[in-house]
Each structure stands twice: as structure tokens, then as C-alpha cells.
Amino acid sequence: MTDTLRPPQNVTATADGAAAPQQLKRSIGVVGGTLLTLSCVTPASTLFVIVPELFSSIGSATALAIGIGSVLCIAVAFCYSELGTLIPSAGGEYAMVGTLAGRLAGWLVFIQSLIVVMIVPSVIALGTADYLAPVLHVDKPIAGAAVMLAATLAGLLDLRANAWITGIFLVLEVIAAGVVSVLGFAHTNTAHPSLLHGLVSTHSGAAPVGIGAIVGALGIALFATQGFSTAVYLSEELENPRRTVSRTVLWTLGLSSAIILVPVAAITMGAPDLQTLTSGDIPGMVTAWSNSAVGTFISLCIALAIINAGIVMVIQNSRVLFASARDKAWPEPVNKAFGTLGRFGSPWIATLAVGLPGAALCFVKGQLLSNITGVAVTAMYLLVAIASLLSRRGHHKHAAAWRMPLWPAVPALLIVVLVYVMTQLDAEPLLWTGGITAAATLYWLFYLRPRQATRWVISLPEDQRD
């Protein structure tokens, strides 16, 4: 832990004479960064894919659960905002944690992020076929693989171009959410229970929903707005990241919460009865409120939202591999490949390394992969919260950065909550994730640690060193 609180190092060449690592180009501001990050949250796909699970489990208390989840996400966003402005690196969590809590902690959080990198885009892409059904029938794995390949091609483009592409898709998402909101509020059923009715009873004849059930649903509610962390991965391509990272994180959290929460309230109030609400068939309710054409439009908007998420995730995840190569996490030929930038300024080999395996994973059953990802995300957030407790020591105490209010109470409380969540997760994904982490720890012990002068040397871009 002797390297825990040192300033980030300037690595211009390795001992074996490798060339200095290439730097990503700063080309986007708060608006572009927010568009890309909000696209990763994919509020429309969250609304139409994740929220129905909450409707089926806790009925009309769904809006309350999402509201509580959004408030809890503020604590996570504060941690990301402070660390992301203190240590603005495309490495995201591993650069932040590794600089503050030591290289081994950084390596462990990198492994968790790598698990997410390789799995989440495929899991999301698999949902495309269901919403293309009104116009095109295609097998789920084939549709998912096609989305991943398209997202990979888009990820090879210039980041500014991708900001416009994802921005256009995002507009369609917001329009879809707006249409659902208007239709839901316009068909408010005065005989329908209030948004808090789920605290009293669920659908017909069911037992009341207790506080425990709502707390149990907070995991899904937290996941619904967690994509704001993408801003940290884009920090090397954001102009003036000391200011723009925190603004992008917090703007994204606020906007995504509103885009999801308002339609949820509208759907709850506009559903004809609780049985219809708990069925989770939102496109069906939209069709009943209007006509089949509007229902088809909403379904296609959901499909576009999934494609949009795939593009942004490939962009985000390729930056993680690029940063790991710059910080010499691998044997030199691999570092050179992942650190290579293409003609558009994107790390093209790293992009292919994320996108092509992602397409292949679409042919694997997704349930276990989703559960493994849940474990990895929880562990990753836990390590980030721990690093937040160390963010005001030594060299970093007086560094220029956005500082969260109520420190250290915010990260300390977050740690307690995340440890509790970890104890509630299923054993099988815990074992899989633990096995991967154990293997990665052996790699650290026998390859990285003996070569610590030239391997896994966490760095920042030149223009952000104090």
C-alpha cells in the first residue's frame, strides 16, 4: 500500500523501450457527455423492460421504490463525481480506486468492471427481438448479435459523431416516454388506488406489500438509474473534466430519474385496474389508451433505446481496455494492441475486443450472466465507496476537484448498504464472480506485482496532472 496516496505517475515509456501511450482527444462538453451518458442509462429501455418487473412484484408502490432508489443513487453519484474530477481517467473505477486505495484494490475493481464490460451489452442486446416483433420476427440471439455488431461499428467512429447518433436516438426515447406519460395521465382512473396503494394491498386478493418487499425491490430500482457512471469513463474526452465530469454525472442522474419516474406515475394512475398494472404489459396499455399504431411506435422506440445503449456501452467499455493497456496491465503485445487509436481517434482494437465477444455471448443463456453482473456491480460500487473515504488524505486533500457534501457520512452509509445487499445475493453468481476474482488475484501476485515498476502503473493524461 506504499503507493496508495502518491500523485498519478507520468508513464511515457516502459523499460523495454515501448513508445509513449497515445492520448484520447478532448472533443465534447457537458451537453455531449450528458447525451452519451444518458444514453447508457437508456431510460426508455429501463421504463419498458425493467420497470414491469417492479410492477409485477410490488404493484403501485413501484413509483415509491424508484423514488427511493433515485435518492440512494445520489450517494453513489456523489462518490463518482468527487473521484471522477479528482482522478479523471478513461480507466474509470480502477484508476480512481487504484490511485487512492492501492494498486491491488485498483486491480480488483478493474476485474469487476471487466466482467461488466464483457457481459452487460450482450444481456441488454438480447431484449431487442421482443420489441421488433411488430415489424420483424427474428430469433433473440441473432437480433442481439446484430445489435452488438452494429454497436461495434458505430464505436469505431469519432466520439463527437457518436454523441450526435446517440443524441438522436435519445430524443426518440424521450418522446416515447412523453407519449406514455400524456396518455397515462389523460386516462387517469379515479377509482384506481393511489401511488401508495401498494403499501396497503397489491392486485386483487393479494396480501399487502410490506416495507420489506419494497426494500427488496430497491436493487432493481437502483439499477434503473445507475448508468451515470459512464461519465467517468469519458473523462479523458470531456473538455475541462474537473468541472464537466461532476456536472455530467449529476445532470444525468436527475434527468434519467425524471424520465423514468414521471411515466411510471402516469402508467400507475392510468392503468384500468391493478391486475393490468401488475401484468407489466406497457405497450398493451398504450395500445388500449390509443391504437395499435402508437403501440408499434412505442415498441420500436424501445428497440432503438436498446441499440442506443449498445453503442454507448461499447464506447465506454473500449475506453476501459484502452486505459488498462496504457497502464501496462498486460504483456507488451497486448498493451500495444489495446492502446492503438484508429483514424477517428477511437481505440479500434479495444473496441473490437469488446464488441465481437459481446456478439458471441448473445448465444449464451443470459440469466446467470445477469446475476454475475449484479454481483460485480455491487462489489465495484463498494470499492468506489471505500476509495471515497480516502479521497481527502495526503496529496489529494488539497487537489482541485468537486467535493461531495456530508463527507464522510455519505460513503460510510453507502458501504453499509452495499455490504447488506451483497449478503442477499444468490450463491451461484457469488461463486462465479469470486472464482474469476481469485484467478485475477493470482495474476496480480505472480505477474503484475513482481513487475510493479513497469506494469500496472496507473497514470493520468498530461493535461490533468497537478
pLDDT band for 68, please (50, 70, 90 cuts).
confident
pLDDT at residue 3, rounded to an integer = 43
Tell me what the pLDDT averaged over the chain comes to: 79
Give pTM, 2 decimals.
0.74
Site of grid cell 465495484: 380
Q: Residue 28 pairs with which residues in a beta bridge?
A: 238
The separation between CA 150 and the C-alpha centre of its own chain, rounded to angstroms, equals 20
Q: Contact at 8 Å (CB) between 263 and 180?
A: yes
| Window from 282-296, 305-319, 431-445 with minimum mean pLDDT | 305-319
Mean pLDDT of 119-123: 82
Mean pLDDT of 104-122: 88
pLDDT at residue 208, rounded to an integer = 54
The CATH number of 30-458 is 1.20.1740.10
Q: Contact at 8 Å (CB) between 359 and 148?
A: yes
pLDDT at residue 269, rounded to an integer = 87
Top mean pLDDT of 99-113, 180-194, 449-463 is at: 99-113
pLDDT band for 411, please (50, 70, 90 cuts).
very high
Q: Is the pLDDT assigned to residue 38 strictly greater than 70? A: yes
Domain ranges in the chain are 30-458
The C-alpha cell of 276 is what?
A: 393490468
Q: Is the pLDDT assigned to residue 19 strictly greater than 70? A: no
Q: How many CA atoms lie within 13 A of 434 on its CB side?
A: 8
pLDDT at residue 46, rounded to an integer = 73
Q: Is the pLDDT assigned to residue 11 strictly greater than 50? A: no
pLDDT at residue 368, rounded to an integer = 77
Buried b (16+ CB within 10 A) or exposed e, 426-463: eeebbebbeebbeebeeebeeebeeeeeebbbbbbbee
pLDDT band for 366, please (50, 70, 90 cuts).
low
Query: Helix-strand-coil percent breakdown of the chain, rounded to 5?
Result: 70, 0, 30
DSSP, collapsed to helix, strand or coil, labels residue 461 as coil
For the chain, the maximum distance between any two Cα atoms, rounded to a whole number of angstroms, is 75
137-154 residue pLDDT tens? 888 889 889 989 988 988
d(CA 185, CA 269): 7
pLDDT band for 23, please (50, 70, 90 cuts).
low
Q: Is the pLDDT assigned to residue 424 strictly greater than 60? A: yes
